[in-house]
Every structure is written in C-alpha cells, then in structure tokens.
Amino acid sequence: MRKINLKSTEDTPQVEYHDGDNILRIIGRSLPEDAWAFYEPVIEWASVYSPASASSALVIELFLEYFNSSSGRYILELLSTLEKKGIDNVKVVWCAEKDDELMVEKGEEFSSLVDLPFEIKVA
C-alpha cells in the first residue's frame, strides 16, 4: 500500500501510514477551512486500500486535539469507506485526553455511526 506522510500544520493534523505496522494515524488539530481539499487524498487512499495485501487488520488511530465540523464529516466519510473492507479487516482506536469530555463524546458518536470494531482510549 502507498505510504502517507503528511506533516502537521497549525490547522491540519499529521497523517501517516506505513505498511510495516499497517496503522493509519491522524494526530493533532484538524481545523482547515477547506476540509475536503485536505481529506480527499486520504479518502482516496482508503478507497483503494486492499486488506488482501496486509498481514494484519488495518488500525485507524485518531488522536485529535480539536476538529471542526467539516473535518468531522470527512473523518466519518473515511471510516465509512473503510467499513466496506469488512469488519475483520479494520479497527478504529479513538484516543482522547482524560479531561476532554467532548472528544470522548465525539468518539462515542463516531462509534455508533460506523460498523467497525471501535476502541476509545482515554489517556
């Protein structure tokens, strides 16, 4: 699978994927004005992802400090795209800081909207 390595900026998160550990990480702030422009290549990557070429299930690790509503929309689209790969092949790990009630709530909401194994980790 193609590698992804997008460095974080002041308003966009770090996004990385290496096929070695088969983890797609999205970490930081996601507040771009044009969220579609930022997430389109990631969603495109997800649509061509093939579980057949991986030795373990793909892990989507999300650790977002803040995200705006339009980013949320495309993160959901990303997860929905990966949902089609089968529940045995993809797992979501949603991380939040322990005092960040809203991010935990958001994780719960995402988990109810996609049919994928979903773990909420509070650090």
Partner 1 sequence: MKDERLSVYSLFEENRDARLVFTYRGPFQDSLTERIIGISENTLENQGEMARANRKVSFLIVECFQNMLKHGENMINLDGSLGDRGLFGFHSFDSTFYINSINPIPLAEKARIKRLVDHVNALSREELKELYKEQIQTNSLSEKGGAGLGLIELARKSGQPIRYRFDDINETQSLFSNQILFKKDINEEEKNFVSKTRGSYDQMLKDGNLIFYKGDLSQKSILPLLNIVELNVSLSPQQRAMKKVGHILIEMLQNISRHTPEVDQRKEGVFLIGVSPFGIRIQSGNVISNSVIPTLKERLDEITGKSPVELKNLHRLKFKESINMKDKNSSGLGLIQVAKACNGRFIYDFKDLGKGESFFSFGVVV
Interface residues with partner 1 (CB under 8 A) are 10-11, 31-36, 66, 68-70, 72-73, 76-77, 80, 97, 99-102, 109, 112-113
Closest separation in Å from C-beta 75 to partner 1:
10
Residues 6+ apart with CB under 8 A from 61: 23, 24, 25, 26, 27, 93, 95
Q: How far is the CB of 117 from partner 1 (least distance, A)?
A: 19
Question: What is the nearest approach in angstroms of partner 1 to the Cβ of residue 59?
Answer: 22
61 within 8 A of 23, measured Cβ to Cβ: yes
Residue nearer to partner 1 on the CB measure, 54 or 68: 68
Contact 13, 28 (CB under 8 A): yes
Tokens of 53: 């070429």
The smaller minimum CB distance to partner 1, of residues 9 and 56, is found at 9
Looking at beta carbons only, is 16 or 77 nearer to partner 1?
Answer: 77
Report, in angstroms and rounded to the nearest whole number, the Rg of the chain calculated over CA atoms.
Answer: 13
CB of 76 to partner 1, least distance (A): 6
Is-contact 67 94, C-beta < 8 A?
no
